[in-house]
Amino acid sequence: MIAFILADLRRFWGGAVAIVVLLALSVALSSVVTLQERAVRLGTARASDKFDLVIGAAGSDTQLTLSSVFLQPSPLPLMSGAMLGKLADDSRVAFAAPIGFGDSAMGFPIVGTTTQLISALSPQLAEGVLFSRLGEAVIGSAVELPIGGRVSPMHGTVETGGHAHTEVRYHIAGKMAPTGTAWDRAILVPIRTVWQLHGMEVNEDHGHKDHAGTPHAHEHEIDINAPLDEVFDANSPGVPAILVKPRTIADAYRLRQEYRSENTLAVFPAEVLTRLYSTLGDARSLLLGIAVGTQAIVVLALLLVAVMHIGARKRQIGALRAFGAPVRSIMTIVWGELFFLLLLGIFFGLAFGYAVTHVITSWLTATTAVRMPVEFAMSDLWLAVGFVLVAAVVSLVPALMTLRMSAASALQS
């Protein structure tokens, strides 16, 4: 019987291929939506795990998270630098690392911070050493620059009409191991160098805030060989955000409660992302609904084609009945042909969807440096089982039509 089905499919291979391709494309659409949403959710959640608590000036908690954790440029307001000294002296804080934005180099953001944060992100450097002077830098794992090379900072970006800082060229001292976060595409430098480049340690009251929340003033001479100073006090310049490592979970909640005030904002990045996921989930449900609707239309179209195909084969079915072929065998052949094609469409659709999702996530990872795993879950297995059951039921329709065909009427048609 299997040989008969395969021989029949070879005769009508053009229609068979069309059925498989149509169903594969519709199944691929829903699998891409599901897999891509899961990849983004898992990737961003794992990236945020390295950042326990972020404190910034009062404003949008979503924007604070996107800017500090995912390094998305935005006009964050500055928070008083006195917070640095206060957090550094707090017994509940393991470390408090300021971050400053505003500059870039070769398309990579330059982030002013401390060696404590670098050590937290990458306990062991892939190459080189941590910066120890104002003119040194540590690059992320996705920044293709050699250790010992130099990089010139630019205020802003080329696209936004930025200008080069001519008073310093950072010497690349080390390279972080991969972290799976957006910081893999960052160039990390001493926060004091960023402050001095923008005139903040010279005179905090002058200059204006730029697009990334860092005041910009006239350029100043910087002693690039000056030793690193990471002791902050009440006179420290303002910063757009501080990444805080609490000593315990209880300390984290106390700190968040304490710094959620009129002037400051404290957020758990994972908590903010959870809220974003709910919005993303709504979009996923909409897209999945569209995909399922598309599949329903495709299945109905395939069913119509199958019914027309059975009508065109009435004489062949009549001949089989006349030669004594059991009705059950004829139904099995008709059902088996369509079910086999639908199974192929489902299989190729899932495989194609998986491949397309891999391409999309590879592009997103190259753009953001956030690793996004493409993984099947148990829910995908149940979805595939559902597809197979629907295919089995749909294939019954043309098979049942053969019950109404008598040998005499079929041969006379």
**What CA–CA distance (Å, rounded) separates 372 from 362?**
8
pLDDT(211) > 80: no
Which of 267 and 155 is assigned the larger pLDDT?
267
Identify the CA nearest to 98 among candidates 2, 229, 227, 6: 229
Q: For 219, phi and psi rounded to 5 degrees?
A: -70, 150
Cα 83 to the center of its chain, rounded Å: 33
User: Does residue 214 have a pLDDT over 50?
Assistant: no
Beta strands in 75-153 (DSSP E): 93-105, 108-113, 125-128, 136-139, 150-151
Of 229, 232, 204, 241, the C-alpha closest to 102 is 241
Report percent pLDDT > 90 for the chain: 26
Q: What is the DSSP letter of 227?
A: B
Q: Is the pLDDT of residue 290 over 90?
A: no
Q: CA-CA distance, 71 to 409, in Å (whole number)? A: 74
Q: Distance (Å, rounded) from C-alpha 308 to C-alpha 226?
A: 83
What is the total residue count of the chain? 413
Residue pair 271/229 in contact (Cβ under 8 Å)? The answer is: no
The lowest-confidence range among 13-27, 89-103, 135-149, 264-278 is 13-27
Q: What's the whole-number mean pLDDT along residues 103-108? A: 86
Continuous segment of H or E residues that includes residue 281: helix 269-312
- Predicted pLDDT of residue 406: 54
Q: Is residue 68 over pLDDT 60?
A: yes
Rounded Cα distance, 270 and 268, in Å: 5
β pairing state of 108-113 and 187-190 = parallel
Q: Where are the domains of the chain?
A: 2-45+277-412, 53-267
| pLDDT top residue among 411 and 73 | 73
The overall pTM is greater than 0.75: no
Phi, psi of 361 (to 5 degrees): -70, -35
Give the mean model confidence (pLDDT) for residues 25-41.
86
How many whole angstroms separate alpha carbon 401 and alpha carbon 301? 17
Instruction: Say if residues 194 and 100 touch (Cβ distance below 8 Å).
Output: yes
Q: Comparing C-alpha atoms, which of 106, 210, 111, 194 is closest to residue 158?
A: 106
Nearest to 263 by CA among 26, 20, 77: 77
- At position 251, the amino acid (one-letter code) is D
pLDDT score of 260 more than 60: yes
